A and B are shown apart, each in its own frame.
Chain A
Amino acid sequence: MKARGKTEGKDLLWFGLLGVLAVMPLIPGPLQGSFTQHVMIQILLYACMAQAWNILGGYCGQVSFGHSVFFGIGAYGAGMAVVKYGMIPWPGAIAGALIAAAVAVAISYPCFKLKGHYFAIATFAIVEICNRLFMVWYWVGGALGLDYSFSEPGWTHFVWYESKRGYFYGALLLFILVFGVVRWIEKNRLGFYLRAVREGQETAESLGVNSTKVKLMAMAVSAFMAALCGAFFAQYNYRVDPPMVMSLDMSMKFVLITILGGLGTFYGPLLGAALLIPLQEYSRALLGGMGGGVDLIIFGLLIIVVVVYQPKGIMGIIDGIASKMKRSEEGGK
């Protein structure tokens, strides 16, 4: 009975959140501002990216610094469809996501043999290699990248120019998809196997879990989702070029937002993005007078403080408060 009550509470929180997000752009007042909507879109997008990474890095414990490659492949999928072939972006996004998943599996199969730092460095190396190769790959636009020309705004071409509301609902759909998939995974066999592999590969194997297959599945799902985020990113910026999407800094964003919010937790990626993105956007706008890089100085400090003092991130703080409240409640009785 107790477990049932807990699930219902979780459902309530999830669907309540979706309801609030769905009506947010309709509320008259400050939320109508173009900049505010831009920030909200960014929060949803980065939350999705972090959640995609979280499947592999958080739940399965395989820390990859190579996710910008998959993100980039998705962005190029959409970009190529639109710019090179004059199509709508949807088939490009799907193809990009499938290619990203295939590439991810092909790369990680040998890389999963590497231990600890060797694996981490290998993922850095792959980002650097892909970045340079895309720079000189003229078929995909080389260093200049791909620039979108005007197309009819709306869902078919997934571009909007006047209002950002379309993008907001696009981001919300992406959010429902990515977070929905993770919610499903959490409750089902794959979720338990992912965490089992993270907590002890040998133990998992002893219980009949094919840990290699589980890790590859996590990688494939994670890369697929990251690529969809990339496609959205290209549509939102009307362009794509290698440093924009495939860079170590971009890869680190996947990791750091998750760490900030709470590794291996469902809401961690959203909380991390909800803290970081406004910080980034508003400090750029407000502290612009203090010179460049202020947002990244704060971000750097934040990362150090979180890793050193609160490795469980914002979720750790929330859990701490929740258990304290519970204890005092019980104490009161």
Chain B
Amino acid sequence: MGLFFQVALDGLFNGLLYAVVAAGLSLIWGVMDVINFAHGEFLMIAMYLSYWLGFIWKIDPLVSSLAGGLFVFLVGALTYKLIISHTIGKSAMSALLATFGLSMLLKNICLNRFSPNFRLLQETALGGKTFNVGGIIVPLPQLVIGIVALALLYVVYHLVKKTRLGWAIQATAMDKEAAELMGIDTEKIYLLVFGLGGACVGIAGGLLPSYLAVHPEVGGLFSLIAFVCVAMGGFGSIPGALLASLLIGLVEAFAGFYIAPVFKYVAVFGLYLVVVMVRPRGLFGW
């Protein structure tokens, strides 16, 4: 029984991490109807940044994560300016394909510069620390990331639902032209949304190197799983994305542990197919 809860806890921690990646993606999808294929690579960038800051200047990932958030915010904003803004109004696939190109570019630049090696930071404040609650081992880094993830989700959700900026974002999402007529600078909103989506993964990615090795391929699977979470949660719904992420995390952990590791992703992607066949707009979408 203890093992069951251990697996569940691991699943939930992974789910929370997916939720942060998914939240940024969901925000972008909801407001701009764009799938950012390079979202996983944004995570990778933050991980590399945090790794090198730690490796060269011994800066702890706890600190680097802020730098990661800021840096990837800029990367996101730049991506919008240079690429996405040119695809608005074109076919729905163009943004997806362009960001796929971007993901190839980023991934292979890292491959070229940093080699395909797996890199993990040693001797970080959180790294390797665990504590024991009633026979269940709780890893500290995952716990911290889980808490940060929930906090980030709350901030994003609050920002969209409760602030003036959030109203402007929602108005832009509903009807871009009407929002412009009301004096909202939709260009700026889009830029900000892309930046914010980036900042979410940037902060999370910055924390990761204390327990997850960074390598050029690390982002790819995160992207795919985050797509599934967002789509399953229902387009643009942050609570939906959170719930779907937790569900995916649990399914992944249980399938991996009780069936076989390779069935992890069969179960995850299979679940997506089943859900969208029954509810073509996701769990929370109508």
Q: Which residues of A contact B266 (CB under 8 A)?
A: 128-129, 132-133
User: Which DSSP category, helix, strand, loop or mixed, fits chain B's interface?
Assistant: helix
B93 within 8 A of A: yes
Could you tell me if A297 and B83 are in contact, using CB atoms closer than 8 angstroms?
no
A126 and B227 CA atoms in complex are apart in Å by: 13
Whole-angstrom distance between the Cβ of A137 and the nearest chain B Cβ: 10
Chain A residues, CB < 8 A from B87: 307-308
Which residue on chain B has the smallest CB distance to residue A107?
A: B273
* Per-residue interface assignment for chain A, residues 118 to 138, with 1 indicating a CB less than 8 Å from any chain B CB and 0 otherwise: 101110111011001101100
Q: Is B90 an interface residue (CB 8 A)?
A: yes
Q: Is there contact, CB below 8 Å, between B112 and A297?
A: yes
Residues of B within 8 A of A122 (CB): 272-273, 276
Interface size class of B (residues with CB under 8 A): 35 or more
CA–CA, A113 and B108, complex, Å: 36
- A252: nearest chain-B partner, CB-CB: B100
| Contact present for A290 and B101 (CB under 8 Å) | no
| In the complex, per-residue mask of B214-238: 1 if CB is within 8 Å of any chain A CB, else 0 | 0010001000100110010001000
Q: Say whether B160 faces chain A, with CB atoms less than 8 Å apart.
A: no
- Partner of B92 from the list A116, A125, A135, A303 (CB cut-off 8 Å) is A116
Contacts A136-B260, A311-B91; A121 near B104 (Cβ below 8 A): no
Query: Are A303 and B269 interface neighbours, CB within 8 A?
Result: no
B86-106 interface bits toward A, Cβ cutoff 8 Å, 1 = contact, 0 = none: 110011111011101111111
Q: Which one of A113, A125, A307 contacts B228 once the chains associate, using CB atoms below 8 Å?
A: A125
A300 within 8 A of B: yes
> Which residue of chain A is the closest to B225 with respect to CB atoms?
A128
Grouping DSSP codes into helix (H, G, I), strand (E, B) and loop, the A interface class, with mixed when no group exceeds half, is helix
Write out the residue numbers on chain B whose beta carbons fall within 8 Å of the beta carbon of A125: 224, 228, 269-270, 272-273
Give Cα A309–Cα B98 distance, bound, in whole angstroms: 11
Residues on the B chain within 8 Å of A311, using CB: 90-91, 94
Determine if B281 is an interface residue (Cβ-Cβ < 8 Å).
yes
| Chain A residues within 8 Å of chain B by Cβ, number | 42
A302 in contact (CB, < 8 A): yes
Contact assessment for B102 and A248 in the assembled complex, using a CB-CB cutoff below 8 Å: no
B227 / chain A contacts, CB cutoff of 8 Å? 117, 121, 124
What residues of B have a CB within 8 angstroms of the CB of A115 in the complex? 280
Provided the pairs A293-B112, A311-B90 are in contact, do residues A135 and B97 lie with their beta carbons within 8 angstroms? no
| B228–A296 CB distance below 8 A | no
Among residues of A, the one whose C-beta sits closest to the C-beta of B113 is A291
In the complex, A60 has a CB within 8 A of chain B = no
Give the docked Cα–Cα distance between A307 and B97 (Å).
7
B193 at the binding interface (Cβ < 8 Å): no
The interface residues of chain B lying within 8 Å CB-to-CB of A120 are 35, 93, 96
Min distance, Cβ A256 to any Cβ of chain B, angstroms: 7
Whether A292 sits at the interface, judged by CB under 8 Å, is yes
A-side contacts of B155, CB under 8 Å: none
Contact A296 B92 (CB under 8 A): no
Q: Which 5 A-B pairs give the minimum distances between C-beta atoms? A: A303-B101, A300-B105, A300-B104, A293-B108, A125-B269
Given contacts A252-B100, A303-B98, could you give 13 more A-B pairs where the C-beta distance is less than 8 Å?
Answer: A114-B276, A117-B235, A125-B224, A125-B273, A128-B266, A129-B269, A132-B263, A256-B100, A292-B112, A300-B103, A300-B106, A303-B104, A308-B87
A residues apposed to B, CB below 8 Å: 63, 110, 113-118, 120-122, 124-126, 128-129, 132-133, 135-136, 248, 252, 255-256, 259, 290-294, 296-297, 299-304, 307-309, 311
19 pairs from A and B in contact (CB 8 Å cutoff):
A116-B92, A117-B96, A120-B35, A122-B273, A122-B276, A124-B224, A126-B269, A128-B265, A129-B265, A129-B273, A136-B260, A248-B224, A291-B111, A291-B112, A293-B109, A300-B106, A302-B101, A303-B97, A308-B83
